[in-house]
Structure 1
Amino acid sequence: MDSQDTLNQSVASLKGIGGQSVVRLEKLDIRRICDLIFHLPLRYEDRTHIQAINSLNPGSHALICARVISSTILDRGRRSLVCQITDDTGYLSLRFFHFSASQHNNLSPGTLLSCFGEIKDGYSGYEMIHPEYKIIKNPEDCITNDTLSAIYPLTEGLRQSSIRKAVQQALTLYNNNTEALPDLLPSALLNRYNYPSLDQALNTLHMPAAGVSVDTLQNGQNPALTRLAFEEFIAHQLSQLHKKKSEQHWQAPLLKSTQQQSKQFLDGLPFQLTKAQQRVIQEIKADCSKNSPMLRLVQGDVGSGKTVVSAYAALLALSSNYQIAIMAPTELLAEQHLRNFSQWFKSFDTQIIYLTGQLKGKKREHALTAINDGSAGLIIGTHALFQDAVNFARLGLIIIDEQHRFGVNQRMALRDKGHNNNSKPHQLIMTATPIPRTLAMLNYADLDISIIDELPPGRIPVVTRAIASERRPEIIAKITNWVKQGRQAYWVCTLIEESEVLQCEAAEDTATMLAEMLPHVRIGLVHGRMKATEKDQVMQAFKAHKLDLLVATTVIEVGVDVPNAGLMIIENPERLGLSQLHQLRGRVGRSTENSFCILMYQSPLSKTAGERLNILRETSDGFLIAEKDLELRGPGEMMGTKQTGQLQFKIANLERDAALLEDVSAAVKIIQETCPENIQPLIERWLGTTTKYAEV
């Protein structure tokens, strides 16, 4: 058996790894011996030299050789054994809360110890709490290590010593033949960025030499860690590009409209399209005229008119006798699409079906039949669209709104509804959440991206003000005057806790408080725990101006369109990301009247929170705001699982390694040109062989 096969063997073949250890290692995604090699330390301890007590700093870990001068059991407060030790440069206390009589006896005055632990500020100077220690006879017996000690991520029941031994065995097998894990980055690339080879990087990270800085290893500044993170980013982008290429092998229906149909649609709109909308429509037309599936992401700021662009794509499919499925994340948004599409296509002879989980009985049966026999051309709905009972006759186009709110499997389930022999439907994906360019290159490299970077004419920028919550009475008075002018307002409640229950309770309390203070204002309440029908009733009442003030959680972030609502108060804006605040603000400023967004913060504001609120006051450009959000919060928080669902890294850390993203595309190009045979092995090394999820 060659060594490459050896590294692909189960970890069970290693010494000391029994059945229970195999199960525990699986929880860490470690199954093969080579997985251990890429299981990197979380942090490091420096036991390479003995430190003098007078050189210690709180928060650091240190190896010390010293003699016990006193050993006392203290009963005041929490009972503890405290030993004072000295190495002639200073004094240090060792504190044990769990100890035995024999331990007390063994740590008698005069005993020589080697001990390791974290230095803390104690009652009477520096101390170590529960250090590792060993009784020794001579100072020469204080054993130092040749390399920094790696501390690995663990799971319940797995000991640090066990995983260290397993990693060491795996490294020995690898170092005996480094060809078993070939270096997949070309030397030109390594030289360009001054990166070490794969074997140098792995050995440095598992067994850093005594002189290597612990800080640079842990904060991502060491070239060994940077090189592996860079390689993982490259693999992710290659994977996305690979999916894009494989999509082109599929057939897709040719979609196009006649000049007359196009004129009929555009003439029926109550507004003129912007140049940006026209440009994106041309890109969509070009995609749909090819016989390979379109996979296009349309990014546009709030209110930029993405929906009407998607409606033009729907026109192409309808004109070619294909069905269109339009999927929205909430019933609120789906109903809004229903109203818009019904208006825009009223002069076209097509049946529009609305399908959600709430549709029951005969109405549901009728909808399913119309979808199945092809008499329904436009099918608009929520998650209900990809349920087993839904069968499309000729699905040619899928439009997904706010795509990041759907799981990968959900989007695939809908796409598979249109899978016919070797043909797949075209896909148009929309998002009002601007994605910074560097993150788009990494996470959406398989998509063609269109940007609507122009707002319809006549829109007046929203005036944004930051006001301390102490001035709440002034703000409430402003609502009274606002409502007297016949205008409507939003009051958005936010909570830092993830608990939806607490958010809803906060909204309910606020609605009660405002109702008492504003007896002549008609107030409605919307939150995430209400039934969809209840939410919709409130929203429809607000839209019909039967309500003046809508108190809501961030559930209104997406898709609510009430042009008469031109005032928004956001409580505790410092708790939300810039992009989310911008999304919320996008619910106002949807008419030609002046609109206002009041950010009611809790003082005092931190410096970062103050900077973030200033950015919102200064600009309404969603893409600029997304870039600033990236700078201030970091990409990890921006592109968390809520936002994407796809970014799963073994080693790379978006927060720490964001600067590397700028160079990923150039590196990918070098690999494609100089060693294309390394592309698939790179993808398999970092993402495994199951990459179907990114086909969507």
Structure 2
Amino acid sequence: MSQLLQTSIEYLKGVGPKRAELLKKGLNIHTFGELMTHYPFRYVDKTKFYTISELHPDLPYIQIVGEFVHIETIGATRQKRLSAIFKDDTGRIQVVWFKGIKFLGSTVRVGVKYVLYGKVNAFNNSLSIVHPELETLVEYKNTLQSTLQAVYASTEKLNNSGLNSKNIVKLQKNLFTQIIGKIPENLSSDIIDRYKLLSREKALIQLHFPKNAEILKRAIFRLKFEELFFIQLELLKLKLINTNKTRGFAFPSIGDYFNHFYEQNLAFELTNAQKRVLKEIRKDMGTGRQMNRLLQGDVGSGKTVVGLMSMLMAIDNGFQACLMAPTEILAQQHYASLSEMLEGMPVKISLLTGSVKVKERRIIHKELESGELHILVGTHALLEDKVKFHNLGLCVIDEQHRFGVAQRARLWKKNSNGVPHILVMTATPIPRTLAMTLYGDLDVSVIDELPPGRKPIETIHWFENKRERLWGVLREQIKLGRQVYIVYPLIDESEKMDYANLQAGFEDVLNKFPRPDYQVSIVHGQMTNENKEFEMQRFVNGETHIMVATTVIEVGVNVPNASLMVIESAERFGLSQLHQLRGRVGRGAEQSYCYLMTGYKLSDDGKLRMKTMTETNDGFQIAEVDLKLRGPGDLSGTQQSGVPVNLKLTNLAKDGQMIEIARNAAKDILDKDPNLQLPEHQPILAFAREQQRGKTNWSRIS
């Protein structure tokens, strides 16, 4: 970055130490460069001027040019206002300010030509404009003035200190007057020419001071492209390092363990999607390079069996494997299902969680180090220093988004002789655009079909007036020998209101389904692990008909006999969570149902969520709608590759095509010049290093 852009913001004309401190605290602007990239969030069209005679209250914000003929301060100390009469050749209008009176009273002058922008109000049969934006006609005609005026984010404290959007515009003018001709380019001329991009300097000037809507559109495109290009460049560089430089263990053989499981233990035919993914994994692990693969699959698509068969490939080649899950419940569920699938085979598998007793831990540690233990399933407990493998060859990580980068890295280092292969599994469908940005350094496999015989879950949205009818549906299902989940939205376990809501629901269910004819379980986050496990096990064993629960059962419970899911106050859940909860049923051969119960007052987003859930079972389609409704969220908080995602302009829900364009551009560069050593790529390398200052990833570029 230019040294000028690193200059402290206090040295910009119009700032100074006091305002600099406000900008740092309020908007995180410390330097000229950070002000330059404090982008507008909308624009005001200043192409049209009105005359005062044309004004009426139904108009949107208007712009007039004229002069003040009278200005006075009116009222007592607490109710002061600045009142003025503004005129042009066609008439006069009252202008009023209730804030900034002292400043305006000393700067606004009678007889000087001003451009005034604001909203017309009607009061007592007369028109007025309250708190208009104001600048002299001379200022307006400044060379950097735009017909589209930028509007900037500010804060109340900044507004009260004279740093509202209008004054930030002035600071931007002062800044660009000083830095024009000194803004370095960060893309190669080849990319700029190929994609017909504006230069970086021109794009920044036109973003802050657009001449017209068309050039503003081109400026936004250029700067969005830049944001995405550097994210994709780093992700692809990491992928390149993993592929070419990070040595993994070669698994050339498919041996007795895999074949015995496939021929003797596998109780069903694999889907074509499962077979395709296994081929991709086998190919990865046979190369001698480290596999880094993300396995996406909807609820019930059969990811676990693919994960197990991948672990058997490792065992066939003399290596150990582990499976790490984010919660004890899910780890226990995996351990139980893997043990069941491996029954009768000479594969030793153990479970390690926080609640495993010290004596059992010692045995596990010993068997792990000796190589006697083939598969270790566990939670974060696998990351402890005491957990040492004999030769860890494959790490399967379930629900990756719940683990941080540092945790994942610690798991990789469990083998001192090399880097184990990584298979990341998620049942949370990730829209393609988001996957390319969050997991762009991983290869992606998708299991996009359900096992044969699985019937789509029928989803129904009912309002509270169908409550009695719902109880009847439950009785019918229980009479058929099925089981039922009823889920309540405990947003925060500490909220008494939510907890009371769950308890009231439980009492209501007990009244409608009394003992001894019916047995009802309750599970929530405030229970001890032992009590939770006891109640869940009763339900799994078929000893209880109904489980009343919070979202604690979102993952980790697999009861094929459960055919009915009721989600209470469904409008309080996001689409992704609704889909995950619905996936707890539909695991057997019988038709399953999901009832979404809501209040009558639904927001437009709430209506769309209910409509989406009742119309499709496709998790990826649901995820796309969810992304559009909620946006990408805090990417830096969810993203796992270590790449800082700082998107000021890009909307991942809407700019999917641009992500692909930027990724292709980055790929072309790295295919040609992996280390960015060519002279034409020096601007790219310099900016990338500047962006990653203090981070480790870009240091790998020589």
The TM-score, its normalising length taken from structure 2, stands at 0.82
8 Å CA contact retained: 1:80, 1:96: no
Distance 1:384 1:508 in 2: 33
Distance 2:137 2:434 in 1: 54
Residues 58 and 534 (structure 1), Cα distance of their counterparts in 2 relative to 1, 3 Å cut: farther
**Higher deviation after alignment, 553-562 or 83-92:** 83-92
Distance 1:523 1:473 in 2: 18
8 Å CA contact retained: 1:333, 1:559: yes
Aligned residues: 673
**Per-residue CA shift, 1:572-617, capped at 9, x if unaligned?**
3344443332222111111011111112233354555444433333
Amino acid across the alignment from 1:197: S
Task: Please name the residue that 1:37 is paired with.
Answer: 36
Stretches of structure 2 lacking an aligned partner (at least 5 in a row): none
The 5 A counterparts of 1:131-210 are 131=132, 145-146=142-143, 147-148=145-146, 150=150, 152-153=152-153, 160=163, 171-172=176-177, 174-178=179-183, 181-187=184-190, 189-191=191-193, 193-209=195-211
8 Å CA contact retained: 2:689, 2:698: no
Amino acid across the alignment from 1:253: F
Amino acid across the alignment from 1:620: N
Distance 1:285 1:379 in 2: 21
**Per-residue CA shift, 1:206-243, capped at 9, x if unaligned?**
3334xx35xx89xxx72112211112112111111100
Residues 552 and 204 (structure 1), Cα distance of their counterparts in 2 relative to 1, 3 Å cut: same
**Higher deviation after alignment, 89-98 or 519-528:** 89-98
**Higher deviation after alignment, 450-459 or 409-418:** 409-418
Residues 649 and 417 (structure 1), Cα distance of their counterparts in 2 relative to 1, 3 Å cut: farther
Distance 1:585 1:330 in 2: 20
Residues 261 and 352 (structure 1), Cα distance of their counterparts in 2 relative to 1, 3 Å cut: closer
CA shift, 1:309, in A, is 0.4
Asked if 1:514 corresponds to 2:509, the answer is: yes
Task: Please name the residue that 2:258 is paired with.
Answer: 262
Distance 1:102 1:186 in 2: 48
Q: Does the residue aligned with 1:410 lie in a helix, a strand or coil? A: helix
CA shift, 1:438, in A, is 2.7
**Per-residue CA shift, 1:240-298, capped at 9, x if unaligned?**
11001111312212235543222222212332322221221121111111221100111
**Per-residue CA shift, 1:44-100, capped at 9, x if unaligned?**
56789975444476663756645477979689xx95647364536566554555688
Stretches of structure 1 lacking an aligned partner (at least 5 in a row): none
Task: Please name the residue that 2:458 is paired with.
Answer: 463
CA shift, 1:342, in A, is 1.6
8 Å CA contact retained: 2:631, 2:651: no
Asked if 1:241 corresponds to 2:236, the answer is: yes
Q: Does the residue aligned with 1:253 lie in a helix, a strand or coil? A: coil
Distance 1:666 1:557 in 2: 37
8 Å CA contact retained: 1:68, 1:107: no
Task: Please name the residue that 1:660 is paired with.
Answer: 658
Please give the root-mean-square deviation of Cα atoms over the aligned residues, in Å.
Answer: 4.2
Asked if 1:447 corresponds to 2:442, the answer is: yes
Task: Please name the residue that 2:535 is paired with.
Answer: 538
Q: Does the residue aligned with 2:547 lie in a helix, a strand or coil? A: strand
Residues 641 and 359 (structure 1), Cα distance of their counterparts in 2 relative to 1, 3 Å cut: same
Task: Please name the residue that 2:554 is paired with.
Answer: 557
Amino acid across the alignment from 1:506: N
Amino acid across the alignment from 1:176: G
Residue from 590, 594, 612 that aligns with 1:593: 590
Distance 1:500 1:403 in 2: 28
Residues 692 and 398 (structure 1), Cα distance of their counterparts in 2 relative to 1, 3 Å cut: farther
Q: Does the residue aligned with 2:180 lie in a helix, a strand or coil? A: helix
Identity %: 36
CA shift, 1:41, in A, is 3.2
Task: Please name the residue that 1:345 is paired with.
Answer: 342
Amino acid across the alignment from 1:119: K
8 Å CA contact retained: 1:578, 1:612: yes
Residue from 666, 690, 696 that aligns with 2:695: 690
**Higher deviation after alignment, 96-105 or 252-261:** 96-105
Q: Does the residue aligned with 1:376 lie in a helix, a strand or coil? A: coil
Residues 371 and 383 (structure 1), Cα distance of their counterparts in 2 relative to 1, 3 Å cut: same
The 5 A counterparts of 1:11-50 are 18=17, 21=20, 25=24, 33-44=32-43
Task: Please name the residue that 1:573 is paired with.
Answer: 570
**Higher deviation after alignment, 39-48 or 481-490:** 39-48
Residue from 404, 407, 413 that aligns with 1:410: 407
Residue from 404, 422, 426 that aligns with 1:427: 422
Asked if 1:394 corresponds to 2:391, the answer is: yes
8 Å CA contact retained: 2:522, 2:549: yes
8 Å CA contact retained: 1:117, 1:129: no
Q: Does the residue aligned with 2:504 lie in a helix, a strand or coil? A: helix
Distance 1:618 1:694 in 2: 48
**Per-residue CA shift, 1:379-412, capped at 9, x if unaligned?**
2112222234433332221111111122223222
CA shift, 1:637, in A, is 4.8
The 5 A counterparts of 1:27-426 are 33-44=32-43, 52-53=51-52, 54-55=54-55, 60=61, 62=63, 65=66, 67=68, 79=79, 81=81, 83=83, 85-87=85-87, 94-97=95-98, 118-119=118-119, 121=121, 123-124=123-124, 127-131=128-132, 145-146=142-143, 147-148=145-146, 150=150, 152-153=152-153, 160=163, 171-172=176-177, 174-178=179-183, 181-187=184-190, 189-191=191-193, 193-209=195-211, 212-213=212-213, 222-248=217-243, 249-255=245-251, 257-266=253-262, 267-418=264-415, 420=416, 423-426=418-421
Q: Does the residue aligned with 1:525 lie in a helix, a strand or coil? A: strand
